[in-house]
């Protein structure tokens, strides 16, 4: 089945790494051209779009797309990993009383563009080495602060008051690439004046892909055995649907198939990419030429895609 091309919306189950999923899918689908679109920690379950065949060319587009999560935040304890997997760093055993208004005010402050410092137990690289490698060796290094965008931060229950030694609540987050929900949980705690960590996390959406579209590895295996694998693989065009599609003409067909630089299309004044198609099938993704004003160039080519 090496001619498979498209996006498989996978539901990654807890206990597996994103790489584990890719490894298993290569065996199931009998193809090496399989790539994931953004790491999910082993303790996290959720939407993980998988690119197959020529769709691996657009994996970066899906990785860069916005994400949605549902998380349980626990107030009262911080951990080394900022989630429930880590060892306790600080604990507050007092009886807490947090009003709904206080909590909503904290969520409002963390909506929009915010600064985050990635946790030590993360895959961010510093001096060519992943932070978690330093952390496992007991080393601490200076971590780069990054700007991320929280598009929305919603409290998912109606309680007027949150009381107890440990206070937990569920939130829904829509955010940009690179956001650490673990760190966001800690930041919420800081605004409330308590240590905090992320108790659990589910990714409910990645780009345009939702939980309802996803299949588990077990279902993918069944579909493959039944010869119905195409039923769970979405076409490359679906993943590009946020960009304008333009059918090629006889006048530009040869130039586009050869990946030539062309006069810029009017739509590139509004969009950062356009997609050239033939009978609705993607041939090339064009972008404004970075060095030559008034021209556009191919960013991705899809020869012989079916």
Residues carrying CATH 3.30.2350.10, the chain: 6-65+207-238, 67-199
pLDDT: which is higher, 30 or 118: 30
Residue 133 pLDDT grade (very low, low, confident, very high; cuts 50, 70, 90): confident
Q: What is the pTM of this model?
A: 0.87
Does residue 212 carry a catalytic annotation? Answer: no
Instruction: Determine the average pLDDT of the residues in 167-185.
Output: 96
- What's the token pair of residue 59? 């994996």
Its sign, for the CA torsion 237, 20, 14, 136, is: negative
pLDDT at 306: 46
Please write the tens of the pLDDT for every residue from 68-119.
999 999 999 999 899 999 899 999 999 999 999 999 999 999 999 999 987 7
Task: Tell me phi and psi for residue 175, to 5 degrees.
Answer: -150, 170
Q: Are 119 and 89 in contact (CB under 8 A)?
A: no
Catalytic residue among 20, 41, 92, 212: 41
Q: Are 297 and 285 in contact (CB under 8 A)?
A: no
Asked whether 130 and 123 are in contact (CB, 8 A), the reply is yes
- Assign 63 to helix, strand or coil: helix
- Going from the C-alpha of 104 to that of each of 29, 36, 107, 187, the distances in angstroms are 46, 35, 5, 13
H/E element holding 87? none
Per-residue model confidence (pLDDT) at position 1? 44
Where along the chain do the CATH 2.30.130.10 domains lie? 243-301
Give how far Cα 137 sits from Cα of 133, 196, 274, Å: 6, 24, 47
Alpha carbon distance 277, 20 (integer Å): 34
Pick 243-301's CATH classification: 2.40.270.10, 1.20.120.1200, 2.30.130.10, 3.30.300.180: 2.30.130.10
67-199 fold: Pseudouridine synthase (3.30.2350)
Q: 6-65+207-238 is classed in which CATH architecture?
A: 2-Layer Sandwich (3.30)
């Amino acid at each position: 089945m090496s001619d498979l091309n498209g996006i498989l919306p996978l539901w990654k189950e807890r206990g597996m790494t994103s790489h584990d999923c890719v490894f298993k899918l290569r065996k199931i689908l009998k193809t090496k051209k399989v790539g994931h679109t953004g790491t999910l920690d082993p303790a996290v379950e959720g939407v993980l779009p998988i690119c197959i065949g020529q769709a691996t060319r657009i994996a970066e587009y899906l990785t860069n797309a916005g994400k949605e999560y549902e998380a349980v935040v626990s107030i009262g304890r911080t951990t080394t990993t900022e989630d429930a997997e880590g060892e306790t760093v600080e604990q507050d055993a007092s009886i807490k009383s947090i009003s709904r208004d206080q909590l909503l005010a904290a969520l409002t402050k963390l909506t929009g563009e915010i600064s985050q410092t990635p946790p030590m137990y993360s895959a961010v690289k510093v001096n060519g080495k992943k932070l978690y490698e330093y952390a496992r060796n007991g080393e601490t290094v200076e971590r780069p602060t990054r700007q991320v965008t929280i598009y929305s931060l919603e409290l998912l229950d109606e309680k007027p008051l949150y009381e107890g030694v440990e206070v937990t609540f569920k939130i829904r987050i829509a955010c940009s690439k690179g956001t650490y929900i673990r760190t966001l949980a800690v930041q919420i705690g800081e605004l409330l004046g308590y240590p905090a960590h992320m108790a659990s996390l589910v990714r409910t959406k990645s780009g345009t892909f939702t939980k309802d579209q996803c299949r588990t590895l077990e279902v993918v295996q069944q579909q493959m055995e039944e010869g119905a694998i195409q039923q769970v693989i979405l076409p490359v065009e679906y993943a590009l649907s946020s960009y304008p599609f333009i059918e090629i003409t006889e006048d530009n067909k040869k130039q586009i198939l050869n990946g030539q630089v062309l006069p810029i299309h009017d739509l590139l004044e509004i969009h950062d990419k356009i997609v050239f198609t033939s009978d609705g099938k993607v041939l090339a993704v064009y972008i404004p030429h970075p060095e030559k004003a008034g021209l556009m160039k191919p960013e991705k080519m899809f020869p012989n895609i079916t």
